[in-house]
């Protein structure tokens, strides 16, 4: 897939491991200009982890880019660990990383679950947030989780059938419970096939047109295990969000500027949610990409994300 609208590949100028509570250790890295304007990249999932391509949304001559893998995800340790792994823990981890790196305020950049976590952090620490660039908005509500687990079969019946048929017929009435039982089993011969089935389902539904490259990246064991196990764990616990949800606290961030980029045909996180968020956020600008699905690497989405970040650069 040509990606000429992203910035060139770049290596981190600094990496590290930050000890957290509960035996967790966070992988983090910094990319770009050490004296530049800080921006924090928040990956999706929960549990997906960050990759090298995520560095490329930011002009390395201007931005001091901070990227980290959330608890249990990617290069953080232990992989797939669920103990002390909640949204409040992740919000506290972000604040611990900010203090550790000596950053006063930063721009937040997150898609899918990354948009959820960006909102949760911004509402907890609005004084630390310069602005938000969000993509494929997910607010963690019951209706959005149910859409992922069952509603997607209306559009992707073949992908959903593969997902559901990983479980025996007697367990298909509660897909989440059936998958959790397998994903949390200590035997890799049980948890890895379940993780691959869950992750391949998500990857298959993430692009406007079929993308074997996307599905293959989701199916890698390390990605699949962190994504599927942690995602199912968060779904079981209503994403560890307050009963009133994220829309219930938009007054805390009403003054913060935001750019929201949404694929019109995003089936994982349908556009309705992005419209609801934009309607509740006076300083949000919503950009709908007419020919895109969920993935940040859809051509129109990645171009719009780079443009959104550049608009924040001009504000500085």
Catalytically active residues are 112, 266, 294
What span, in angstroms and rounded, lies between the C-alpha atoms of 150 and 164? 9
Burial of 181 (0-12, 13-18, 19+ CB in 10 A): middle
Beta partners for residue 28, in sequence order: 16, 68
Q: How many residues does the chain have?
A: 316
The whole-angstrom separation of Cα 111 and Cα 104 is 23
- List all residues 6 or more positions away from 47 whose beta carbon is below 8 Å from its beta carbon: 70, 72, 73, 80, 226, 227, 228, 229, 230, 231, 234
Neighbours of 90 (CB within 10 A): 24
């Amino acid at each position: 897939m040509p990606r000429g609208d992203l910035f060139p590949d770049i290596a981190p100028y600094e990496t590290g491991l930050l000890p957290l509570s509960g035996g967790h250790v966070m992988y983090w890295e910094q990319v770009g200009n050490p004296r530049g304007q800080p921006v924090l990249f928040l990956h999706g999932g929960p549990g997906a982890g960050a990759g090298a391509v995520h560095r490329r949304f930011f002009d390395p001559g201007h931005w001091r880019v901070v990227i980290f893998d959330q608890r249990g995800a990617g290069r953080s340790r232990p992989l797939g660990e669920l103990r002390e792994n909640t949204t409040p823990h992740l919000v506290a981890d972000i604040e611990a990383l900010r203090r550790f790196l000596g950053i006063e305020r930063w721009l937040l950049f997150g898609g899918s679950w990354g948009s959820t976590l960006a909102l949760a952090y911004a509402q907890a620490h609005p004084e630390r947030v310069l602005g938000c660039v969000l993509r494929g908005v997910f607010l963690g509500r019951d209706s959005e989780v149910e859409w992922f687990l069952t509603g997607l079969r209306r559009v992707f019946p073949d992908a959903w059938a593969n997902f559901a048929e990983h479980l025996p017929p007697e367990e298909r009435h509660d897909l989440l419970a059936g998958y959790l039982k397998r994903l949390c089993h200590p035997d890799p011969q049980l948890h890895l096939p379940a993780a691959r089935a869950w992750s391949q389902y998500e990857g298959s539904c993430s692009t406007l047109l079929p993308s074997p490259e996307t599905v293959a990246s989701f199916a890698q064991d390390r990605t699949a295990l962190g994504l599927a196990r942690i995602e199912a764990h968060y779904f079981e616990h209503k994403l560890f969000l307050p009963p009133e949800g994220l829309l219930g606290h938009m007054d805390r961030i009403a003054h913060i500027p935001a750019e929201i980029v949404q694929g019109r045909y995003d089936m994982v996180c349908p556009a309705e949610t992005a419209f609801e968020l934009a309607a509740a956020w006076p300083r949000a600008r919503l950009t709908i990409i007419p020919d895109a699905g969920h993935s940040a690497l859809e051509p129109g989405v990645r171009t719009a994300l780079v443009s959104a970040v550049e608009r924040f650069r001009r504000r500085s």
